[in-house]
Structure 1
């Protein structure tokens, strides 16, 4: 996601240069971005509750009035940071299925890329901030629900796109999408949040997830096939 942020920053600069913008507007935008960057680092290190306005000012300079002008208060700044992180995360997931990704040709490639995005430090830090503050601030909890819904849609889309590019095709994409999310949360994100894994062996994780998806898809197909449906009592009696 770091590379994605750099690309977005360059696009933003290019977009601003393509239309007339006052120097004052450019300075205000630059100041806002600097404040958000400083706040993001502070929230990661100390958490939202322990971070003060002075902590953020110490990182970037300026005054309290600057923060109040751009964000109203500390929570307004926190909300802006979480919204930006959530948008960048969603875009990074969406970018996996972009035509600009010619190296993704099958289900395993897609899973590899998904695992990399959802276990990036930025993604884990975003999840940590949401978990820490979501129960106290309904707006942050709503952002998490929106993020989860968007991720679910993207995972379904990716699995549907690449499911046929595997020797053992996935028979129920929606079921497998839910399973993927459950596997990632259980096997990767919680461990990373707890500091139990360094998250470096992402290829092994992607391989396990692919095996789980294919195995569970086969099991689900087996137990939901017409041959495995229980015979109703009435039909049984009718055959007597």
Structure 2
């Protein structure tokens, strides 16, 4: 079931610090134990505070999971809201974005969250998958699609659909490695670099503006 709706909680400076601690402890617990095996009582014990405070701030365990994932997503994607990270040098912009996303998705934490989303079986799994897609892949697609749309308007590239193109680019840079990472295989940095550079080459060649 979805998180229980609750009124916004106004927090003091101390309350914000306690909330941050709860999120840090919860993130570590979800990544190490998975969703089903994570205990909100244990999170409260480690972070301090009370179970009542946790429920008042996050609604329930699923609400806590979404808050953790939303916070992580904001940390990852916030820098890309800065126009200074994007330029008309598309190869450079795609490299910067792609390198970041590639290493997040294929990191130990990235693989752990992906495993939690695709392999667990619990009553909240459907909602967990929606949360993951909304704050993870969907956010990455939206950020890249916005940049591609800007390049289309400037008539630098030609695409049928910027959002679909963003999805296709992201699959090129991480798709060949996800299963290998899930199965515990170590990935060489040079493999990732080659995949990224080749994806940029193929992508730009495929969408270059024709006269």
What corresponds to 1:98 in structure 2? Answer: 83
What corresponds to 2:63 in structure 1? Answer: 76
Runs of 5+ unmatched residues, structure 2: 1-9
What corresponds to 1:117 in structure 2? Answer: 101
Q: Distance in 1 between matches of 2:181 and 2:19?
A: 30
What corresponds to 1:59 in structure 2? Answer: 46
Answer with 1 or 2: which has the greater Rg.
1
Q: Distance in 2 between matches of 1:103 and 1:192?
A: 32
User: Which range moved further: 30-39 or 61-70?
Assistant: 61-70
Q: Distance in 2 between matches of 1:102 and 1:217?
A: 16
How many residue pairs were aligned?
189
Change (3 A) 1:112 1:196: farther
Paired residues of 1:152 and 1:177 also in contact (CA < 8 A): yes
Q: Distance in 2 between matches of 1:50 and 1:41?
A: 12
What corresponds to 2:5 in structure 1? Answer: none
Residues 12-45 of structure 1 show CA distances to partners (whole Å, capped at 9, x for unaligned) of xxxxxxxxxx9x6112211111111101111111
What corresponds to 1:10 in structure 2? Answer: none
Paired residues of 1:104 and 1:110 also in contact (CA < 8 A): no
For the pair 1:192 / 2:177, whether they are aligned, the reply is no
Q: Distance in 2 between matches of 1:194 and 1:112?
A: 27
Change (3 A) 1:81 1:58: same
Paired residues of 1:155 and 1:177 also in contact (CA < 8 A): yes
Paired residues of 2:18 and 2:49 also in contact (CA < 8 A): no
- TM-score, normalized by length of structure 1? 0.60
- TM-score, normalized by length of structure 2? 0.67
Paired residues of 2:34 and 2:116 also in contact (CA < 8 A): yes
Residues 98-127 of structure 1 show CA distances to partners (whole Å, capped at 9, x for unaligned) of 21x389944145324422234224544444
Change (3 A) 1:171 1:162: closer
How far is the alpha carbon of 1:178 from its aligned partner? 3.3
Paired residues of 1:134 and 1:140 also in contact (CA < 8 A): no
Structure with bigger helix share is 1
Paired residues of 1:39 and 1:78 also in contact (CA < 8 A): yes
For the pair 1:29 / 2:13, whether they are aligned, the reply is no
Q: Distance in 1 between matches of 2:111 and 2:88?
A: 24
Secondary structure of 1:87's counterpart equals helix
